[in-house]
Amino acid sequence: MADKTEYRFLGGSGLKVSNICLGTMTFGDWLLPGQCDEAASHAILDRYVELGGNFIDTADVYGEGRSEQIIGSWLEKQQREKFVVATKVRFGKGINGVGLSRHHIMQSIDDSLRRLRTDYVDLYQIHMWDEAVPIEETLSALNDLVRAGKVRYLGASNVKGWQLQKIVELSKSMGLNKWISLQAEYSLLCRGIEWELTDVCRREGIGIIPWSPLRGCARGLLTGKFKREADAPEGTRIEHVTKKGMIFEGVPDFKKVKKDDKTWDILDVLKKVADAHGKTPAQVAIRWLLQKDVVSSVIIGAKTLQQLEDNMGAATGWEITEETMAELDTESQMDAFYPYNMIKRRNKDRVRKNMCQ
């Protein structure tokens, strides 16, 4: 592989991944416009590898399995051990074909392995918490997959702070494998995970893998392509969601965005920083995430080779200065609310510099 990116440990594990992860929700026909057919998807995978990428993320629900199939038809022609392949379990159809029960997990992993044309998944993630199933059942089933060699590492996605901490503590008390990663929406326009989840990850050695870093998929708000006085660009997911009145996680309604002064203030600062660095707004938005101490890799989505190459331009070779990071942090900071505002205010003089000070 070309040495055009950097590699980081995924959380506290010994597994190294490229700091840019290729998300594949755009592979195959699905709910939103601009999806890639198999040939286009394979071209994106090939170019991603040429640029040094080794971390590929999918889910059994993407394209109702089609994304995994497209990856599988590509993967079987590669040296499997060179790649870190991640997929997810939770969603589905049927009475027992959904959720995080032992029954569904055992069926889902076999279906995913068949579609991916491999005998193991490097990272298996719960796609979301399941309120209906005792978490002990889920943890036990997933641990059995590790022991069976079908899964090598475990991770979570779309959970609350207390839920992730519960997973950590139960895994310890039950003598199970440690979970190493958290996928969560995280960007300059969505920093909600900083209330609790980043603290859990930092203390427990869990690497964060942000999704929707551009707030709205490949052509998101943070690409700088959206104008307040104009409609959302035609063919974008944001335009589609806004026109259809859909609710789709990570893709905002542009009618609401237009009215949000803070969003446009953030976009103005982002453009200023991008111009100063000779980079695109998308590259700065991704680089901002990569310089957060709890981030192992950032998931990007691409519908074209141009989008892929632009996003990969954030991977290595330059940094945002501490002063500029602070400027972006301040501009995009969310207003604190109870109890976070009170706890932060009352602990200003109770922060340790290190173990002894």
Which residues are known catalytic residues? 62
DSSP state letter for 3: S
For residue 289, which of 215, 180, 356, 228 has the smallest C-alpha distance?
Answer: 215
Asked if 283 and 289 count as a contact pair (C-beta separation under 8 A), the reply is no
CB 223 within 8 A of CB 237: no
- Exposure b/e, 125-150, CB count within 10 A at least 16 = b: bbbbbbeebebeebbebbbbbbeeeb
Token couple for 315: 């991977």
% helix, strand, coil for the chain, step of 5: 45, 15, 40
Angle, helix 135-147 to helix 161-173, in steps of 10 degrees? 60
Distances, alpha carbon 201 to alpha carbons 188, 206, 296, 301, in Å: 19, 4, 11, 24
Cα 232 from Cα 241, distance rounded (Å): 10
**Taking Cα atoms as reference points, which of 260, 301, 296 lies closest to residue 282?**
301
